[in-house]
């Protein structure tokens, strides 16, 4: 409705402007058509200008006054007894046309223009006026038309757009319905994708992908909880078994001591497991704050080797570290060191007596590549993806060896990933030791702290 | 020495009490924060072992109130949660030390001794157990009249054991105090065991009497046992 009023008003304003322009033109024409008769009467040759140039300019009112006495010299027939203002006001018609709005006695709105003029040395004032009524007729007509149109079309448009919106949103309603059915227990439901190219289709696809990821992590969580419970149960069963059996009959102090010690060992295992689970849960929740620093990757590697060196020595293994001193990374040195300790511990554990373990670091394509090779039995291809899973063991019968809970590699993997790195089992070439497993760790190279001219790109 | 133990878990409380009493301390027990608070006000203690997770007023609140009242008794906090915020909160509230549950009893004893010894330096130049002499100044160890060749790590391990002569030290304590590792992880346990084994080969095996003993499930102890 506001639109209708605005449009109509704009039209009225434009028509008035036109009327004014025509009036000015007309006034100038009228000037040329005025003359004095020999009796001093003003004559107007209006036969020349009988046909109006615009359909709006039908009613011309003309009045000529003498200046300064204000005597009416001429009034046209249309004006009859009306007048266009009595005496002239100051400056009327001197510069420009003094346009103004007025009313005739019957209420007709008129536009009045004045112009001072000289004929035969006499000063006269020409007043020309047009009715604005045809303009208002147009204005009202347009307004009514709008109102009529709106009142007719609005309900139709409303109804149509409602139907259209319903049609368009039907898939959304479908999606809502399905989405409501998705719960942690029922993550298999997926949204229908009707057209993968429109916005709704894309939304549904993104939603489905999110659901896939959610389902995966829920599944992982479920497995993790089940595995953790199993791992907890093993030492608990031992504690219980040892305790109950030793109470079956009287025993000597050494036997009791032995039993209690054994139970304490299992309690130790439980404690360590609880610690590891806590580390994992902190890591999962993203609660581990990394202490940032810049360092050579060889440093934590050497520290890990120094710490675990005695274990390799005990098995007469040769433990070698070589690499590029320019391999500099940014991150938490202690956490990366822990990762290397875990990787290395695994390598020592699985390499035979007299075996070789080789750690190498190099820079390649803005990346720091660390490989850890051992001479153990290697990791079968079918296990390659899963060795980093929590509690996963290639050989389940080795589960109790070394007291590890099967979380070492998972924690190490997390540590590498927390540094925007990756770790994977290398199955193909790229190994120096023929048998055994090769782990490949990639970390982003910290290029900003390299000494100038080191030539690394 | 009189110790107050504020702990709501009856089994653990009883174990701690009898363990401390065996070590020669006089022990009072409190099962709630309020009870502990009352005991602290009615008598004086040399040390308070305070559990954080208590029914009613928790350990932090009890501790904060004590410190506000101007009580300067050393407090060892026991916290079940291994959260850094907890440690910081505990130390902020005025705790002198904290211990994360589950802890090794040997560790609890060591912390208590350290707190009670505070400000009383006792670093003798040499320690002697049986015929084993450890000289801290020259960093040398001799048994009888034979000098024992030790690596730096082995010497530190021996020092730690002999400084705690007669008391069992846990692997946790060794990891923290000898290896200076913030976290104890399973590879480190193996490393500790290997070092203990090597130390034994040098210190005990050539001699008729073994001094380094393993207490199964608990840790290690240097002890001059009657053969």
CB contacts of B80 in chain A (<8 Å) are none
Q: Which of A159-163, A253-257, A445-449 has the lowest mean pLDDT?
A: A445-449
Report chain B's mean pLDDT, rounded to a whole number. 87
Report whether pLDDT(A428) > 70.
no
Measure the CA–CA gap between B147 and B150, rounded to whole angstroms. Answer: 9
Smallest Cα distance from B189 to chain A, Å? 9
* Residue that wins the pLDDT comparison between A101 and B14: B14
* Residue that wins the pLDDT comparison between B222 and A457: B222
CB count in 10 Å sphere of residue A288 = 14
For the stretch A118-144, pLDDT in tens is 877 788 888 888 888 888 888 888 888
CB count in 10 Å sphere of residue A394 = 16
Q: pLDDT confidence of A208, banded at 50, 70, 90? A: confident
CB contacts of B191 in chain A (<8 Å) are 307-308, 310-311
Smallest Cα distance from B82 to chain A, Å? 8
Report whether pLDDT(B78) > 60.
yes
User: Which residue from B182, B187, B195 is facing A341, i.e. has the nearest CB?
Assistant: B187
For the stretch A382-398, pLDDT in tens is 788 788 888 877 766 65
Q: pLDDT confidence of B123, banded at 50, 70, 90? A: low
User: Which residue from B179, B182, B187 is facing A345, i.e. has the nearest CB?
Assistant: B187
Q: Rounded to 5 degrees, what angle do the CA atoms B90, B96, B98 make?
A: 55
For the stretch A331-364, pLDDT in tens is 999 899 999 999 999 999 989 999 999 999 999 9
Measure the CA–CA gap between A281 and A121, rounded to whole angstroms. Answer: 109
Return the residue in B84, B183, B190 with the most chain A beta carbons within 10 A, the one to mutate for interface testing: B190
Q: Would strands B75-79 and B97-100 be described as parallel, antiparallel, or unpaired?
A: parallel
Report whether pLDDT(A402) > 60.
no
Measure the CA–CA gap between B182 and A178, rounded to whole angstroms. Answer: 50
Report whether pLDDT(B16) > 90.
yes
Return the residue in A316, A345, A410 with the most chain B beta carbons within 10 A, the one to mutate for interface testing: A345
Taking the Cβ of residue B183 and every Cβ of chain A, the question of whether any pair is shorter than 8 Å is answered with yes
Q: pLDDT confidence of A453, banded at 50, 70, 90? A: very low
Measure the CA–CA gap between B203 and B140, rounded to whole angstroms. Answer: 12
Q: What is the pLDDT of residue A50?
A: 55
Question: CB B187 to CB A308 under 8 A?
Answer: yes
Residue with token string 């004045």:
A114
- Residue A416, both tokens: 């590498």
Kindly give, in sequence order, each residue whose CB lies less than 8 Å from that of residue A176, ignoring residues fewer than 6 positions away: none
Report whether pLDDT(B82) > 70.
no
Conformational region of residue A102, where left means phi above 0, alpha means psi within -120 to 50, and beta covers everything else: beta
Domains present along chain A, CATH in parentheses? 2-138 (3.30.450), 199-284 (1.10.287.130), 292-449 (3.30.565.10)
Closest CA to A431 of A356, A367, A346: A356
Kindly give, in sequence order, each residue whose CB lies less than 8 Å from that of residue A84, ignoring residues fewer than 6 positions away: A61, A63, A102, A110, A112, A127, A129
* Residue that wins the pLDDT comparison between B111 and A435: B111
Question: CB B216 to CB A265 under 8 A?
Answer: yes
């Amino acid at each position: 409705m506001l639109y209708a009023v605005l449009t109509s008003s704009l039209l009225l304003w434009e028509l008035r402007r036109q009327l004014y322009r025509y009036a000015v033109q007309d006034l100038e024409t009228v000037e040329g058509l005025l003359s004095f008769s020999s009796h001093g009467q003003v004559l107007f040759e209006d036969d020349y200008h009988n046909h109006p140039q615009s359909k709006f300019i039908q009613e011309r009112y003309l009045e000529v006054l003498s200046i300064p006495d204000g005597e009416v010299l001429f009034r046209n027939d249309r004006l009859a007894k009306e007048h266009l203002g009595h005496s002239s006001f100051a400056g009327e018609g001197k510069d420009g046309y003094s346009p103004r709005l007025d009313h005739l006695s019957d209420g007709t709105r008129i536009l009045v223009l004045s112009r001072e003029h000289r004929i035969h040395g006499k000063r006269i004032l020409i007043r020309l006026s047009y009715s604005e009524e045809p303009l208002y007729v147009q204005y009202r007509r347009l307004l009514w038309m709008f109102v009529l149109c709106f009142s007719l079309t609005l309900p139709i448009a409303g109804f149509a757009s409602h139907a259209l919106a319903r049609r368009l949103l039907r898939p959304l309603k479908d999606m809502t319905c399905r989405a409501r059915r998705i719960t942690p227990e029922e993550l298999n439901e997926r949204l229908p994708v009707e057209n993968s190219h429109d916005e709704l289709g894309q939304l549904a696809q993104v939603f489905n992908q999110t659901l896939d990821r959610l389902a995966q992590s829920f599944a992982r969580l479920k497995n993790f909880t089940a595995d953790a419970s199993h791992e907890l149960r093993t030492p608990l069963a031992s504690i219980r078994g040892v305790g109950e059996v030793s109470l079956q009959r009287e025993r000597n102090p050494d036997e009791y001591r032995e039993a209690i010690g054994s139970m304490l060992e299992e309690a130790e295992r439980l404690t360590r497991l609880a610690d590891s689970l806590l580390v994992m849960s902190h890591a999962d929740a993203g609660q581990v704050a990394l202490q940032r620093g810049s360092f050579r990757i060889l440093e934590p590697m050497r520290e890990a080797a120094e710490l675990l060196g005695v274990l390799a020595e005990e098995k007469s293994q040769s433990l070698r570290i070589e690499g590029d001193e320019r391999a500099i990374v940014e991150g938490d040195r202690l956490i990366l060191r822990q990762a290397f300790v875990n990787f290395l511990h695994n390598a020592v554990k699985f390499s035979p007596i007299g075996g070789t373990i080789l750690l190498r670091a190099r820079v390649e394509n803005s990346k720091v590549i660390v490989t850890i090779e051992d001479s153990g039995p290697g990791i079968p291809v079918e296990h390659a993806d899963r060795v980093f899973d929590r509690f996963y063991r290639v050989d389940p019968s080795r589960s109790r060896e070394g007291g590890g809970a099967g979380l070492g590699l998972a924690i190490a993997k997390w540590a590498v990933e927390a540094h925007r790195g990756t770790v994977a089992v290398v199955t193909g070439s790229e190994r120096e030791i023929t048998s055994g497993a090769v782990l490949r760790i990639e970390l982003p190279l910290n290029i900003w702290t390299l000494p100038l001219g080191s030539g690394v790109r | 020495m009189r110790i107050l133990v504020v702990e709501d878990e009856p089994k653990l409380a009883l174990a701690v009490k009898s363990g401390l009493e065996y070590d020669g301390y006089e022990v009072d027990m409190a099962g709630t924060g309020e009870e502990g608070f009352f005991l602290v006000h009615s008598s004086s203690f040399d040390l308070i072992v305070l559990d954080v997770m208590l029914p009613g007023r928790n350990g932090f609140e009890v501790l904060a109130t004590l410190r506000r009242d101007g009580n300067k008794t050393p407090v060892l906090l026991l916290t079940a949660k291994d959260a850094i915020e907890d440690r910081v909160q505990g130390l902020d509230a005025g705790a002198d030390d904290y211990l994360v549950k589950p802890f090794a009893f040997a560790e609890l004893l060591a912390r208590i001794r350290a707190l009670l010894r505070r400000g009383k330096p006792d670093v003798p130049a040499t320690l002697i157990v049986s015929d084993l002499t450890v000289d801290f100044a020259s960093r040398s160890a001799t048994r009888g009249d034979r000098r024992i060749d030790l690596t730096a790590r082995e010497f530190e391990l021996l020092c730690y054991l002999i400084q705690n002569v007669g008391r069992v030290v846990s692997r946790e304590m060794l990891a923290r105090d000898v290896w200076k590792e913030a976290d104890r992880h399973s590879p480190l346990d193996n490393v500790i065991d290997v070092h203990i084994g090597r130390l034994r080969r040098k210190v005990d095996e050539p001699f008729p009497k073994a001094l380094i003993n393993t207490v199964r499930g608990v840790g290690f102890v240097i002890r001059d046992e009657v053969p």
